[in-house]
């Protein structure tokens, strides 16, 4: 192993049948204290029995000597290090077959790779969080105006293309200005947050509920004709009216409902829902109009 002593990486030769070390270079002796004649699994890996997945079995099964070579990575629990192994079957001078191994310590590289993987995972998580923040209303946690606009656009296009039904509901808190004037904006924000949760808890999973602006909310209802939208709006109105808010007692909401008409735009649909909401306000509030 004189020539191999110049190699800075551990190099060793193992008898293919007895698993005894036939030769070790200086780097190998320094790394593990291995000695010629010792069993490889004891000297190198600190085990009492042969390694369960010893590559020798697979290598010996290959009849072509030129293909009896393997390159792989392994973690050695004896010294807590990662190695890239290059192992080759070679004829030994006594006519037997031996396994010639070079072990390159790649622990630092693996740690760098793991750090990069973790960094990429954190970056991906941050990216998803930012994407979610971009479409979420910070106060209520509902979809924000941007998300509502995008959803409305796609749903109107779908309804126009496939002839499906679509309804939009615009609602707002009755006399919300009085709440702010009497109790302050902090209480007003709490009212919006609590009402938003009530709305979210009482719509279908395919509906999109969001904050339209100020004290106004919008609910986009795909696959929903006018009767279904009116039923939902009335359910929400009654639930809100009967809900005891934790900060301001019972408050009400008014609702405007509009169902998509072929050929109209998002603006047309929302304008009709807004007009219906205005009529609900004019007729005394705490109502549903279409």
- Enumerate the active-site residues: 215
Q: Are 11 and 21 in contact (CB under 8 A)?
A: no
Q: Is the dihedral of CA 158, 161, 165, 171 positive or negative?
A: positive
Query: Degrees (nearest 5) of the Cα angle 192, 195, 200?
Result: 120
Alpha-carbon span 1 to 26, nearest angstrom: 9
Burial readout 55-85 (b: 16 or more C-beta within 10 A, e: otherwise): bbeebeeeeeeeebebeeeeebeeeebbbbb
In this structure, are residues 209 and 200 in contact, taking their beta carbons and an 8 Å threshold? yes
Distance CA(279)–CA(289), nearest Å, equals 7
CB proximity list for 200: less than 8 A, separation 6 or greater: 142, 209
**Neighbour-count burial of 118, counting CB atoms closer than 10 A to its CB (0-12 exposed, 13-18 middle, 19+ buried):** exposed
Q: Which two tokens stand for residue 268?
A: 């047309």
Q: Give me the DSSP letters along 151-193.
A: HHHHHHHHHHHH---EEEEEEEETTHHHHHHHH-HHHHHHHHH
């Amino acid at each position: 192993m004189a020539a191999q002593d110049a190699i800075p990486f551990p190099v060793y030769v193992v008898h293919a049948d007895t698993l005894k070390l036939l030769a070790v270079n200086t780097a190998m002796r320094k790394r593990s204290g291995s000695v010629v004649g010792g069993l490889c699994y004891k000297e190198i890996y600190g085990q009492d029995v042969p390694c369960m997945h010893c590559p020798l079995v697979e290598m010996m099964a290959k009849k072509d000597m030129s293909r009896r070579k393997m390159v792989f990575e392994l973690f050695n629990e004896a010294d807590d290090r990662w190695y890239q192994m290059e192992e080759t079957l070679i004829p030994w001078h006594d006519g037997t077959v031996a396994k010639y191994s070079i072990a390159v310590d790649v622990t630092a590289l693996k740690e760098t790779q793991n750090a990069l993987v973790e960094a990429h995972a954190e970056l991906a998580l941050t990216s998803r969080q930012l994407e979610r923040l971009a479409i979420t209303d910070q106060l209520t946690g509902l979809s924000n105006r941007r998300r509502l606009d995008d959803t409305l656009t796609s749903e109107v296009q779908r309804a126009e293309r496939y002839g499906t039904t679509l309804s939009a509901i615009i609602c707002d808190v009755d006399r919300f200005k009085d709440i702010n004037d009497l109790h302050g904006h902090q209480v007003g924000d709490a009212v919006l947050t609590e009402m938003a949760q009530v709305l979210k808890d009482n719509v279908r999973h395919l509906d999109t509920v969001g904050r339209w602006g100020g004290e106004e909310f919008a609910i986009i209802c795909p696959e929903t004709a006018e009767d279904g939208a009116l039923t939902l709006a009335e359910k929400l109105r009654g639930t809100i009216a009967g809900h005891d808010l934790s900060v301001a007692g019972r408050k009400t909401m008014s609702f405007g409902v509009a169902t998509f008409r072929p050929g109209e735009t998002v603006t047309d649909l929302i304008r009709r829902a807004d007009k219906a909401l205005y009529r609900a306000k004019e007729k005394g509030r705490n109502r549903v109009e279409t």
